[in-house]
Amino acid sequence: MIDLHTHTFFSDGELLPSELVRRAEVKGYTAIALTDHVDLSNIDFVLPRIVRVCEVLNRHWKILSIPGVEITHAPLKEIEGLVKYARKNGAKIVVVHGQTLSEPVIPGTNRCAIEAGCDILGHPGKITEPDARLAKKVGVFLELTTRKSHSVGNKHIFNMAKKTGAGMILNTDSHSPEDLVSDVYARKILKNIGLGKSHINEVFRNSENLIKKLGT
């Protein structure tokens, strides 16, 4: 299992980074990205601490710890700058909090995140076909999620990805130990969304290839 969207107590998660990574390793994970919520107020505080702990953990444990961020509820004109800042300061995975149906995300966030070239558009809700086509063109992955509060959009996201050829990734958006899932459960979630075996294998391959592409 590879999970590229999780949270520690540096934002609204329950666990220390080390504990989250350790619990993921025991769960059978081979890689996990720590992507706490950031905006202009805290990115300079959160990111260097996540970068540092990932460096340390990677010296001691087999599971790969990947530093990242989730840019969340930021003004549209600030998203591109935050993506660039995150990358410049050590984030290997940049997630942008997409237009989930369960929160009042600013309309246009999906488009701005894709145009900014984030790695993953998190739980993008009722993403439009033009935005999905743009994601395909620029190589931004659309997130399918195991998180209940955001998963209502999963089938629509899958349908848009299938229609446009946009890449999909499955993440947990974990905030607590109970949110971590096994590989078997993750595949079951994807099957329930409507993905066949080939699409399921593609989703898992996308996570693997993204890690390789980033040189982590």
Domain ranges of the chain: 2-214
Superfamily (CATH) of domain 2-214:
Metal-dependent hydrolases (3.20.20.140)
| Cα–Cα distance, 46 to 32 (Å, whole number) | 17
End-to-end CA distance of the chain: 16
| Cα–Cα distance, 64 to 19 (Å, whole number) | 14
Question: What pLDDT is attached to residue 214?
Answer: 76
Quick one: which of 76, 30, 34, 69 has its CA closest to 55? 34
Tokens of 8: 């520690």
Q: How far is CA 113 from CA 95, 102, 184, 186, 189, in A?
A: 9, 18, 31, 26, 26
How does pLDDT run along the chain (216 residues), one tens digit per residue? 999 999 999 999 999 999 999 999 999 999 999 999 999 999 999 999 999 999 999 999 999 999 999 999 999 999 999 999 999 999 999 999 999 999 999 999 999 999 999 999 999 999 999 999 999 999 999 999 999 989 999 999 999 999 999 999 999 999 999 999 999 999 999 999 999 999 999 999 999 999 998 765
| pTM exceeds 0.95, yes or no | yes
Question: What pLDDT is attached to residue 216?
Answer: 55
Q: Does residue 169 sit in helix, strand or coil?
A: strand
